Each structure stands twice: as C-alpha cells, then as structure tokens.
Structure 1
Amino acid sequence: MKIDDLLEIEEIRQLRLAYSNYFDGHDTERLKTLFCEDAVCEFPEEFGGNWVGRDTIVANFSKELTRLGEPYDTMHVVANPWITLTGPDTAHGRCYLIDLLTRQQAGTGDYETRGGHDNPLLFLGMYEDDYRKVDGEWKFANIKLPFFWPERTFEQVRRPDV
C-alpha cells in the first residue's frame, strides 16, 4: 500500500464520519452532499426498504429525523472501518454501527430503547458501503445497513478486500 492509498482511505473514513455527524445533527443540506446522484440506500423494510436517488434519500432521511426527535437525540458511533480501494475511483468498506438514544422523554420522538435510561442502546448494525469518486470527491454510491440488534436483519456481508 502506498501513501496515496492511505490518503484516499482516510478521505473515505472522513466521509463516513461526516455522515454520522450530519445525520445526528439533522443537517440534511450537508448530508445531501455526501451522496452520488444515483446513490442507493438499502435499509430494512421497517425503514422503507431501498431508497433510490439522492433526492429520495434526503427526503426519506428528513422524515426519519422528525421521528427521532431533536438534533443529537440519537448518536451514531461507527467503529472498525475496513476500507478497500477497488479502482482509481471506487472503493468498498464497512464499519460497525452502535446507535445510541440520548433522550428518552415522552413527546420528543417516536423511539425508545428497551432499557430506557438504564440502557441507551438503540441499534447495533453494520454499514456496508460502496464509494465512488465524483469530481475529485468521495461520495456514497451505495449504503447497506443490516441490523444485529434488537431485531436481526443481517444475512451476510461482502468482504471489503474481495
């Protein structure tokens, strides 16, 4: 691996971190900039299944954010990034998602965790992403999010190094 490859991988890692920050902060304008025009988000059926196209993705995120409550009522913690460059303008990666609910007061959102204040854990999942470089910037081309907890929607993942 060369230094240039590491720099590309770091840019992609920063993209994933920006997604978490913009989503948790309810900043849909910035969130929109992270996606390719023809991006696809593959979510479990309870979240609407596949969302196709950047505008649809952002519209659906906007709806979901109103269900979540206020900015930073939920917080994405992403860990264990594994990113592989698959071409000069393409890459694949995955990371674990630990989704926390920071607020559990009646009337501030539709979500509640199983443990209430004693357990802020909302979801455990794994983002599996395909990235594409567009005009010199890495963007999400595809996001797949199977869950492990509380309901298991996980079936299988691709190895990023294949």
Structure 2
Amino acid sequence: MTTQNTEAQIAELLERIDRLESIQAITKLHNDYVRNLAARNWSAVAAAYTEDAICDIRHHGVHVGREAIDGMFAEELLPVVHSKDGYILSSPNITVDGDTAHAIWTWHRLQADFKTALGVMRIWGPWSEGQYDAEYRRVDGEWKISKLWFRVHAPDHDDELAAASEQNRVVGGGYGRS
C-alpha cells in the first residue's frame, strides 16, 4: 500500500464519517423539531430553520425567512392549536452532500381532541399521515432546515379537505352510502 493510497483511503473514511454524523445530526434536528411542535414550543420550532429558510406547511402558504416562519407559528398556530396530539416521525430517507442534505420523512399524528357542536371532545384513536420533504444546510457547523414542504395525505388529503371546506361539506360524511 502506498502513502498516496493511504491518504486517499483516510480522506474517503473521513467523508463517510462526516456523512454518517451528519445523518445523525439531521435526524436529531428533525426529531427535536417535531417534539417541539407537539409541545407547542413555537420559538424552538422556528429556531430549527436557517435565517433564509423557505417553509410551506399545508394551507398556511409559503413563508420566507426565519422571522416570517416564526410569525406564521405565532400568529396562525399559537392562538388556535391547543390539542394534546401525539406525533411519530419515521422512515427517513436522508441524503447528504457536503454541507447540504435532503430528506423525506413520514409523519403520523395521533389525534385526541376534536371540535364539535358541543365543544371540544376527547376521542382516542383517529390518526393522520403526512410527508415532510426537507432540505438542510450546515451553518457554522450546525445543521438547520433550509427548505421545508409538508402535506397531510391520509386518510384525507389536504387538497380534499380544502375543497370540502370551500363546498361547505364534511369529508367522509357520505361514507358507506350508495
């Protein structure tokens, strides 16, 4: 084995170690992000983003920049989201390329509180499934979310829910009818 081969192998191993450590750091970042969502810790959620991040979550529109993203959480979600739902983040597919990365995650929400005509009602068991498509960037040695897209797709897709709302109908209201 030559010195040149040894140096190349060491360089390759260092790249592989960095990629593996980056995957672990990104996994921790996104898991913490979802835990902070569940805890309704909106400022910690916003802190997971880069200063120039782009965030597109469901029907909240596209927000550019950490300040705008923080404002979206504070203005749109803080006043209305009070349920005690549980979240599971799974099936990450993470690709790291130097100081940038991309991941697709499966997200599950285990819902507990529902608004009804009689008020908020606790019902155990309902769920929903969504997908995160995220890009990350290493900034000053720390991984942050640089672009995030999120939609719910099961059991009812976000587009179907939006259409139902516009048509003043309930999704699943005619289930089982001919």
TM tier relative to shorter chain: 0.7 to 0.9
1:144 is aligned to 149
Correspondence for 1:23: 37
Give the whole-Å Cα distance in 2 for the aligned partners of 1:107 and 1:64: 19
Q: Deviations over 1:113-162 (max 9, x none)?
A: xxx725331x3111000000111100000001132121254xxxxxxxxx
| Aligned positions of 1:82-93 closer than 5 A | 82-86=93-97, 88-93=98-103
Give the whole-Å Cα distance in 1 for the aligned partners of 2:31 and 2:140: 20
Gap runs ≥5 in structure 1? 154-162
Contact 2:134–2:149, Cα closer than 8 Å, also in 1: yes
Judged with a 3 Å threshold, the aligned counterparts in structure 2 of structure 1 residues 133 and 67 are, in CA distance, closer, same or farther, namely: same
Aligned residues of 1:20 and 1:75 also touching (Cα < 8 A): no
Q: Paired residue for 1:67?
A: 80
Scaled by the length of structure 2, the TM-score of the pair is 0.71
Q: Residue 157 of structure 2 aligns to a residue in which SS?
A: coil
Amino acid at match of 2:33: Y
Shift of 1:9: 0.3
Task: Tell me which moved more, 51-60 or 124-133.
Answer: 51-60
Paired with 2:26 and 2:71, the residues of 1 have a C-alpha distance of 24
DSSP 3-state at the match of 1:66: coil
Aligned-partner residue type, residue 141 of structure 1: S
One-letter amino acid of the structure 2 residue matched with residue 78 of structure 1: L
Taking only the aligned residue pairs, the percentage that are identical comes to 27
Letter paired with 1:40: I
**Higher RCO, Cα 8 Å, sep 6+:** 1
CA contact (8 A) 1:85 1:91 kept: yes
Report the alpha carbon displacement of residue 50 of structure 1 after superposing the two structures with TM. 0.9
Q: Equivalents in 2 of 1:32, 1:147: separation in Å?
A: 20
Query: In the alignment, residue 72 of structure 2 is paired with which amino acid?
Result: N
Matched, 1:120 2:133: no
Other structure's SS at 1:145 match: strand
TM-score by length of 1: 0.77
SS in 1 for 2:113: coil
**Residue 53 (structure 1) aligned with residue 72 (structure 2):** no
User: Retained in 1: the 8 A contact 2:111–2:124?
Assistant: no
The counterpart of 2:109, out of the listed 94, 99, 102, is 99
Displacement after TM superposition at 1:100 (Å): 1.9
Counterpart position of 1:156: none
